[in-house]
């Protein structure tokens, strides 16, 4: 009688460690353990399921199907942590750009140069609205 040992957690020694979901069929272009780990990393960086899936060459719907599989609990937990971290990071970047502004350099007719920038209070107010924060933290509940 053979005992199968579960695969080693991917992203070991990080808060995003998870046990990969076993492939139903061996496909090089499927959700391999490496693709799953890269998806979780992309999700952490981007905070968007669609963008993260595209970054690893997969589709958004396919990612959700993988997440819903019965043996995907570890993957789903890593997904939840990664998306929270990604959305928090994106929110921080938006707030930094809103408060500190972005320098805009324009070359006008005749070669004159216009430099402008500064805080964008419309972005600050939009980011602070209750719906924006709720959307950023929705998946953690």
* Residue from 122, 16, 137, 4 nearest 76 by CA: 16
Q: Tell me how far apart the alpha carbons of residues 24 and 101 are, in angstroms, rounded to a whole number.
A: 49
Contact 51, 42 (CB under 8 A): yes
Q: What angle in degrees, to the nearest 10, is found between the helix axes of 121-128 and 130-137?
A: 60
What is the average pLDDT value for the chain, to the nearest integer?
A: 82
Q: What would the pLDDT profile of 1-52 be if each residue is shown by its tens digit?
A: 444 445 557 777 788 989 999 887 887 789 999 999 999 999 999 889 999 9
**pTM for this structure?**
0.68
Does residue 113 have a pLDDT over 50?
A: yes
Where do the domains of the chain lie? 33-140
The CA distance from 30 to 59, in Å, is 10
């Amino acid at each position: 009688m053979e005992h199968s040992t579960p695969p080693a957690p991917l992203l070991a020694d990080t808060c995003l460690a998870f046990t990969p979901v076993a492939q139903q069929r061996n496909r090089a272009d499927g959700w391999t353990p490496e693709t799953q780990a890269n998806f979780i990393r992309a999700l952490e960086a981007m905070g968007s399921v669609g963008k993260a899936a595209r970054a690893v060459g997969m589709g958004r719907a396919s990612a959700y199907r993988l997440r819903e599989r019965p043996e995907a609990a570890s993957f789903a937990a890593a997904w939840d942590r990664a998306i929270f971290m990604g959305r928090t990071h994106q929110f921080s970047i938006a707030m930094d750009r809103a408060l500190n502004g972005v320098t805009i350099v324009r070359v006008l007719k005749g070669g004159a140069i216009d430099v402008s920038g500064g805080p964008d209070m419309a972005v600050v107010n939009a980011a602070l609205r209750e719906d924006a924060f709720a959307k950023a933290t929705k998946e953690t509940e």
